[in-house]
Amino acid sequence: MQNIAILGATGSIGQSTLDVISLHPDKYNVVALTAHSNVEKLITQAIQFQPDYLVMSDLNNYSVIKQAVQSANLSCEILVGEAGLCQVASAPNVDSVMAAIVGGAGLMPTLSAVKAGKKVMLANKESLVMCGDIFIQEVNKTGAQLLPIDSEHNAIFQCLPNQFEYGNLAASGISKILLTGSGGPFLTRSLDSFDEITPDQACAHPNWDMGRKISVDSATMMNKGLEFIEAKWLFGLNSEDIQIVLHPQSIIHSMVQYADGSVLAQMGNPDMKTPIAHCLAYPNRIHSGVKPLDFSQLADFSFQVPDLLRYPNLKIAINACEAGQYATTTLNAANEIAVEAFLSNRIAFSQIAHVNDEMLQAVESQNLHDIEGVLALDKQVRAQAKKFIGMLV
């Protein structure tokens, strides 16, 4: 029986994780569930899974969650804020942590799980984007097991050789990592109409069911840029080791190209329950509830090079990756503020890239040696981005 804490239980990854767990009640025990503000959904989950802890990261919801727990006759302990998230992520009775909080808010709880030596199923890519070097150093120091949940990185992980040598593709017989992306909902939309894109249109992904922030990132292809950065740290890669390929059907989730000319691809229906099940059971396999591919129904596999005029955020992210940690920390903070402004109809879709580029130009190159420096820069950039957006409105 594996004891699990789910950080971000009410989001799409958290709900999918609970769906998989519900298929295997003899294998997994939910110890902790966390949410930001969705009390109703969290209580519904708690009634079904009976965790020891419930955490609300929004401090303003403490009285609401307390009353709801009493009304539902639940016996779980209630914790709040970042401190509560970090407490359950590192709790002695937790074996595995699903790190599924969206954005920079997930960094400290995920890092707490790593420092406690847990099995960490990483869906919070921002942890590596914000402080990849520090994060990987902690993984190596504590012996935490880091397993990638993002479908692309999970696909790469599945296609790597058993004796993969971190940071040395040549020694593993690998020539390149092929990171696939769908291109989002605006793959063929006229560029001169991008200023007219609405939040609902940007969130209508053609293949994946995701939260609104990640959906917008997919539409701008910032999500692929963040995944580019994440891949660097997960597998010890250089920028030239990674090639981004557009694959609109989202059936091939990513590929590994070997020196002998072979290419191994991981395929499956676009459903996050597949990589979740893979990481929950690793190195074994369990049923995920996802229908297998029916190859007789696959009419087309197409691939193309991403158009950087259509996806300026992708180029911005790759440049940030090459510039170093300060730049990727800056980019993540700026993008979160810019996407939030777009979703609240304060800036146009095309202005997201403008905000991100402006912040990268404004922040001076610097060395980030510790988490305090990362958090200070993150706070500084968010304030600058909000001020800049105020000037645009």
Do 265 and 387 belong to one domain? no
In a domain, 291, yes or no: no
In a domain, 269, yes or no: yes
In a domain, 90, yes or no: yes
Q: Does 227 show up as a binding residue in the annotation?
A: yes
Rg, the chain, Cα only: 20
Q: Does 336 show up as a binding residue in the annotation?
A: no
Q: Does 90 show up as a binding residue in the annotation?
A: no
Q: Does 289 show up as a binding residue in the annotation?
A: no
In a domain, 197, yes or no: yes
What is the pLDDT at residue 208?
Answer: 67
- Amino acid (1-letter code) at residue 333: A
What is the pLDDT at residue 210?
Answer: 74
Which of 281, 315, 336 terminates a domain? The answer is: 281
Strand ranges (E), the chain: 2-7, 28-35, 53-56, 77-80, 96-99, 119-122, 145-148, 174-181, 242-246, 252-258, 263-267
Count of helices and strands (H, E) across the chain: 15, 11
CA dihedral angle for residue 163, residue 169, residue 173, residue 175, rounded to 10 degrees: 150
Q: Does 196 show up as a binding residue in the annotation?
A: no
Q: Does 205 show up as a binding residue in the annotation?
A: yes
- Domain span including residue 331: 324-392
Q: Does 38 show up as a binding residue in the annotation?
A: yes
φ and ψ at residue 279, rounded to 5 degrees: -75, -35
Q: Does 173 show up as a binding residue in the annotation?
A: no
Q: Does 329 show up as a binding residue in the annotation?
A: no
Q: Does 296 show up as a binding residue in the annotation?
A: no
- The secondary structure of 91-149, three-state, reads CCCCCEEEECCCCHHHHHHHHHHHHCCCEEEECCCHHHHHHHHHHHHHHHHHCCEEEEC
pLDDT in tens, the chain (393 residues): 999 999 999 999 999 999 999 999 999 999 999 999 999 999 999 999 999 999 999 988 899 999 999 999 999 999 999 999 999 999 999 999 999 998 889 999 999 999 999 999 999 989 999 999 999 999 999 999 999 999 999 999 999 999 899 999 999 999 999 999 999 999 999 999 999 999 999 998 777 677 889 899 999 999 999 999 999 999 999 999 999 999 999 999 999 999 999 999 999 999 999 999 999 999 999 999 999 999 998 888 999 999 999 999 999 999 999 999 999 999 999 999 999 999 999 999 999 999 999 999 999 999 998 999 999 999 999 999 999 999 987
Which of 219, 246, 281 terminates a domain? The answer is: 281
Do 126 and 163 belong to one domain? no
How many structural domains comprise the chain?
A: 3
In a domain, 183, yes or no: yes
Do 134 and 197 belong to one domain? no
Contacts of 198 (CB under 8 A, 6+ apart): none
Q: Does 126 show up as a binding residue in the annotation?
A: yes
Do 172 and 43 belong to one domain? no
Q: Does 81 show up as a binding residue in the annotation?
A: no
Do 163 and 143 belong to one domain? no
Q: Does 273 show up as a binding residue in the annotation?
A: no
Q: pTM for this one?
A: 0.93
Do 133 and 196 belong to one domain? no
Q: Does 44 show up as a binding residue in the annotation?
A: no
Do 238 and 101 belong to one domain? no
Do 10 and 133 belong to one domain? yes
Q: Does 358 show up as a binding residue in the annotation?
A: no
Do 336 and 222 belong to one domain? no
In a domain, 298, yes or no: no
Q: Does 322 show up as a binding residue in the annotation?
A: no
Do 167 and 274 belong to one domain? yes
Q: Does 307 show up as a binding residue in the annotation?
A: no
Do 163 and 219 belong to one domain? yes
What tokens does 112 get?
């707490």
In a domain, 51, yes or no: yes
Which of 92, 118, 148 terminates a domain? The answer is: 148
* CATH number reported for the structural domain that contains residue 377 in this entry: 1.10.1740.10
Do 343 and 235 belong to one domain? no
What tokens does 217 get?
């990132």
